[in-house]
């Protein structure tokens, strides 16, 4: 039976450390503050927002919400981003994406001050992830994968990692973070010729496809560690990952559950980035 690598203990350990750092900032007269920018009311954004609000409250981070309707214009959103950039009392910004189709997402992301880019959406932050320079903040979900591996004592050096998904939000940045820790990384996608064969060779399998069942029983092998990043709703309305969980439970070494796995750690990483940004702001 596979070990369940839950996110809650990882998040709890991070929260305790972050609360102390938040208190130290408050003692210096700084309230670490996150701006949340949401356009429209997509259920997945609302769900992540609830988690982020709860986590920030636990840590001691103030949140300012900027809520725009889905019909808002590019100019409306740009004005909000510029206001956040100008406001020295805001240390980080979380912008929910994808933005509505009538908006130029690349231009909006590029407008955010790199110092406040706590979710790795600007080209500069992503370049830092790819160069391994350590400047900027990696996308929170990608970093959450590393936090889980570290918490459960998984040594990455020399391991064969296979990542399913190549988005700029998860697949590519998590691949670069794993490479930076000396794993040998293969990135798979919808045009991969034989996904099961690629996946079966993995010591560490990271599923970030956004499709229930994309990582089937044929992709799994004994001894594997599986991080299931996917968040999908199945035909019965249940939240499920990308991995055939029933098959994984009986074959792999360890797997993160959905819900309660990677997602539970992502908001803690976000909180840590806000604290770091506030610490940097006071020098």
Interface residues with ligand NAP (CB under 6 A) are: 141, 164-167, 169-171, 188-192, 195, 208-211, 214, 229-232, 262-263, 266
Nearest-CA neighbor of 122 among 279, 273, 278?
A: 273
User: Measured from the CB atom, is 25 or 52 closer to ligand NAP?
Assistant: 52
Least Å distance, CB 11 to ligand NAP, is 11
User: Measured from the CB atom, is 124 or 213 closer to ligand NAP?
Assistant: 213
CA dist 211 → 20, 65, 94, 162, 164 (Å):
38, 30, 24, 17, 11
Chain-centre distance for alpha carbon 143: 6
Least Å distance, CB 201 to ligand NAP, is 15
Cβ pair 223, 253 in contact under 8 A = yes
User: Measured from the CB atom, is 142 or 281 closer to ligand NAP?
Assistant: 142
Least Å distance, CB 97 to ligand NAP, is 8
User: Measured from the CB atom, is 204 or 208 closer to ligand NAP?
Assistant: 208
Least Å distance, CB 189 to ligand NAP, is 3
User: Measured from the CB atom, is 25 or 138 closer to ligand NAP?
Assistant: 138
Least Å distance, CB 5 to ligand NAP, is 13
Beta bridge partners of 251: none
Nearest-CA neighbor of 34 among 271, 276, 281, 282?
A: 271
Tell me the C-alpha distance between 28 and 280, whole Å: 13
CA dist 130 → 134, 175, 177, 180, 273 (Å):
10, 9, 8, 9, 18
């Amino acid at each position: 039976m596979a070990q369940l690598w839950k996110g809650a203990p990882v998040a709890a350990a991070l929260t305790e450390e972050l609360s102390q750092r938040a208190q130290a900032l408050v003692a210096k007269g700084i309230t670490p503050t996150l701006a949340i920018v949401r356009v429209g009311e997509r259920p997945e954004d609302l769900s992540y927002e609830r988690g982020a609000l709860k986590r920030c409250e636990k840590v001691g981070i103030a949140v300012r919400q900027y809520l725009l309707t889905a019909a808002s214009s590019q100019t409306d959103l740009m004005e909000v981003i510029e206001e956040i950039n100008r406001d020295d009392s805001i240390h980080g910004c979380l912008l929910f994406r994808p933005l509505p189709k009538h908006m130029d997402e690349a231009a909006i992301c590029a407008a955010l001050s790199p110092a406040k880019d706590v979710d790795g959406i600007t080209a500069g932050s992503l370049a830092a992830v790819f160069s391994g320079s350590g400047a900027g903040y990696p996308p929170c979900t990608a970093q959450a994968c590393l936090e889980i591996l570290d918490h459960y004592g998984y040594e990455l050096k020399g391991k064969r990692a296979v990542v399913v998904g190549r988005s700029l939000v998860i697949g590519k940045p998590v691949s670069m973070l794993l490479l930076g820790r000396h794993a040998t990384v293969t990135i798979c996608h919808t045009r991969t010729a034989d996904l099961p064969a690629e996946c079966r060779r993995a010591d560490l399998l990271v599923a970030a496809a956004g499709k229930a069942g994309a990582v089937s029983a044929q992709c799994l092998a004994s001894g594997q560690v599986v991080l299931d990043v996917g968040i999908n709703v199945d035909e019965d309305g249940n939240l499920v990952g990308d991995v055939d969980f029933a098959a994984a439970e009986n074959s792999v070494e360890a797997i993160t559950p959905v819900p309660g796995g990677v997602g539970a750690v992502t908001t803690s990483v976000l909180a840590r980035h806000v604290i770091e940004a506030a610490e940097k702001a006071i020098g």
